[in-house]
């Protein structure tokens, strides 16, 4: 998180950025294996599929009334993870080295 940035400013930036980063990393991993993004070997899609199956089973068991609880739980879980990320990285700024890679922290 940037110096002076509130958690509420940080949250959408990091969630969207993390999603983009995860897609890019998984796409590159699959390309090295000669696979496409829409492949059964895509671990990102596997995780999303398991989440969808879990949420679908909860809706099947408890009805549509459980949807607000599932959405709240998902939001809360993401937020807990990101607030730790925010606190641990507040005000840190890494420089790029001569190779264009970010320095280690």
- pLDDT tens across 2-41, in order? 778 888 998 999 999 999 999 999 999 999 999 999 999 9
Give exposure, 84-98, as e/b (b: 16+ Cβ within 10 Å): ebbeeeeeeeeeeee
- Count of domains observed in the chain: 1
Residue 13 lies in a domain: yes
Instruction: List the domain range (segments joined by +) for residue 68.
Output: 7-89
pLDDT in tens, 59-77: 999 999 999 999 999 999 9
18 burial (CB, 10 Å; 0-12 / 13-18 / 19+) is middle
Please tell me whether the overall predicted TM-score, pTM, comes out greater than 0.95 for this model. Answer: no
DSSP 24: H
Residue 96 lies in a domain: no
Residue 67 lies in a domain: yes
């Amino acid at each position: 998180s940037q110096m002076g940035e509130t958690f509420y400013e940080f949250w959408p930036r990091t969630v969207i950025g993390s999603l983009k980063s995860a897609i890019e990393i998984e796409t590159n991993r699959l390309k090295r294996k000669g696979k496409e993004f829409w492949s059964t070997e895509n671990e990102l899609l596997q995780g999303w599929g398991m989440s969808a199956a879990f949420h679908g089973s909860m809706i099947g068991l408890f009805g549509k009334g459980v949807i607000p609880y599932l959405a709240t739980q998902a939001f809360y879980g993401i937020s807990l993870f990101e607030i730790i990320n925010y606190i641990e990285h507040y005000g840190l700024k890494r420089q790029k080295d001569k190779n264009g890679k970010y320095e280690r922290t």
